[in-house]
């Protein structure tokens, strides 16, 4: 069966440096795949390449059998890929609810003139958006903070909000970039429950994270270092992979073992 997302020979150069080099990767529908690697391994760059923030220097990105490499970010979001960012970017002057409502830009489609004339169908659409937004907030567990301004949110809920926002585009593929980075213990539990709920609704997820608890959720893990894939497999397989350990802990540690 065709994979949902196929990456073939993906390469990206910044100046003389290859941030991503010749990456091959498949993501099948319904999976949770983990993307691991030390800082600077190129994981966020891969996300950026998939979502159109960067253009690939070479290689292909194929989503649902269509080439998306090099397309603009908003077009890729329309195709059904949602993402969060490593830093919790959100709309600081909007409330939590407004942040999510704004993200429902794509569906249902609201036209310029409808909005201007405030037609009954437009109002109906906006009502539904409000309901959908509340549902997404419940999914990630933020419904209590719905009226808080984005910039007043503490860090943990901010990251949950970025997840909520990514869900609003009703993605088939969700890319989560360090979704629990910087969270403390309780918030981590909240986030993990949210991710599990998302997963149970059938969304395919690719996860970048350093935290082992999250990695255990993944069916498959791809490990990168210096822009290249160095290992792939289940959590157990990857844990004991020599190269992975060298990447994380350094040459001396592995030698000393």
Partner 1 sequence: MMSEKRENTVVKTAGRYGGYGAVIAFLLLLPWLPFTGAYLLHVCILILTYIMATSSLRTIFVSGQASIGHAAFMGIGAYTSAILSMRLGWTPWVTILLGAVAAMVVAALSGYLFNRLRAIYFSMVTAFFGVAFEALLRSWLSLTGGKGGMVGLPGMGVIDLPGLGEINFAASKIPYYYLLLFLTLFTLVVLYRIERSRTGMNWMAIAQSPLVASSIGINETKFRVLAFAVGCFFAGLAGSVYPHYSTVLSPSSFSLMPSINLVIFLLFGGARYFAGPIIGVIVLMAIPEIFRSMKEYAPYIVGVFMLLVIFVMPQGLAGLFESARLRLSKALGKGARDAGVA
Does position 56 bind partner 1 by CB under 8 A? no
44/74 Cα distance (integer angstroms): 18
Does position 148 bind partner 1 by CB under 8 A? yes
Task: Say if residue 108 is preceded by a cis peptide, omega within 30 of 0.
Answer: yes
Among 82, 141, 156, 179, binds partner 1 (CB under 8 A): 82
Q: Report how far apart, in Å, the C-alpha atoms of 81 and of each of 47, 62, 76, 168, 217 are.
A: 11, 12, 6, 11, 21
Among 32, 42, 63, 103, binds partner 1 (CB under 8 A): 103
Nearer to partner 1, 26 or 107 (CB): 107
Q: Of 39, 77, 74, whose CA–CA distance to 178 is shortest?
A: 39
Lay out the sheet containing 58-63: strands in order across.
17-27, 5-14, 58-63, 66-67
CB atoms within 10 A of CB 121: 11
Does position 98 bind partner 1 by CB under 8 A? yes
Does position 62 bind partner 1 by CB under 8 A? no
* Pairing label, strands 220-225, 228-233: antiparallel
Q: Report how far apart, in Å, the C-alpha atoms of 153 and of each of 7, 133, 162 are.
A: 36, 18, 12
- Interface with partner 1 in residues 176-235 (CB under 8 A): none
Does position 49 bind partner 1 by CB under 8 A? no
Nearer to partner 1, 29 or 98 (CB): 98
Does position 134 bind partner 1 by CB under 8 A? no
Among 105, 199, 210, 239, binds partner 1 (CB under 8 A): 105
Does position 145 bind partner 1 by CB under 8 A? yes
Where on the chain is the footprint of partner 1 (CB under 8 A)? 51, 53, 72-75, 77-78, 82-83, 85, 89-95, 97-98, 101-103, 105-106, 110, 112, 114-118, 122-123, 126-127, 129-130, 144-145, 147-149, 152-153, 165-166, 168-169
């Amino acid at each position: 069966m065709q994979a949902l997302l196929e990456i073939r020979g993906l390469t990206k150069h910044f100046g003389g440096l290859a941030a991503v080099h010749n990456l091959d990767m498949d993501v099948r529908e319904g999976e949770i795949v983990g993307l691991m690697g030390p800082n600077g391994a190129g994981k966020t760059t891969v996300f950026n390449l998939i979502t159109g923030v960067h253009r690939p220097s070479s290689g292909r990105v194929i989503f649902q059998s269509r080439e998306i490499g090099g397309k603009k970010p908003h077009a890729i979001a329309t195709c059904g890929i949602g993402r969060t960012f490593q830093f919790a970017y959100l709309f600081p002057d909007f409330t939590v609810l407004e942040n999510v409502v704004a993200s429902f830009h794509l569906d249902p489609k609201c036209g310029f003139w409808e909005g201007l004339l405030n037609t009954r169908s437009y109002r109906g659409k906006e009502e539904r958006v409000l309901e959908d937004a509340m549902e997404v907030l419940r999914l990630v567990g933020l419904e209590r903070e719905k009226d808080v301004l984005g910039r007043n949110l503490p860090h943990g809920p901010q990251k949950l909000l970025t997840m909520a926002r990514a869900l609003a585009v009703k993605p088939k593929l969700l890319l989560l970039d360090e979704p629990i980075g910087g969270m403390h213990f309780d918030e981590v539990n909240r986030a993990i429950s949210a991710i599990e709920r998302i997963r149970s609704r059938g969304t395919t997820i690719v996860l970048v994270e350093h935290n082992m608890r999250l990695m255990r959720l993944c069916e498959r893990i791809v490990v990168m270092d210096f822009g290249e894939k160095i290992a792939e497999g289940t959590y157990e397989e990857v844990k004991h992979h020599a190269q992975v350990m060298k990447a994380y802990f350094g040459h001396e540690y592995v030698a000393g073992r």
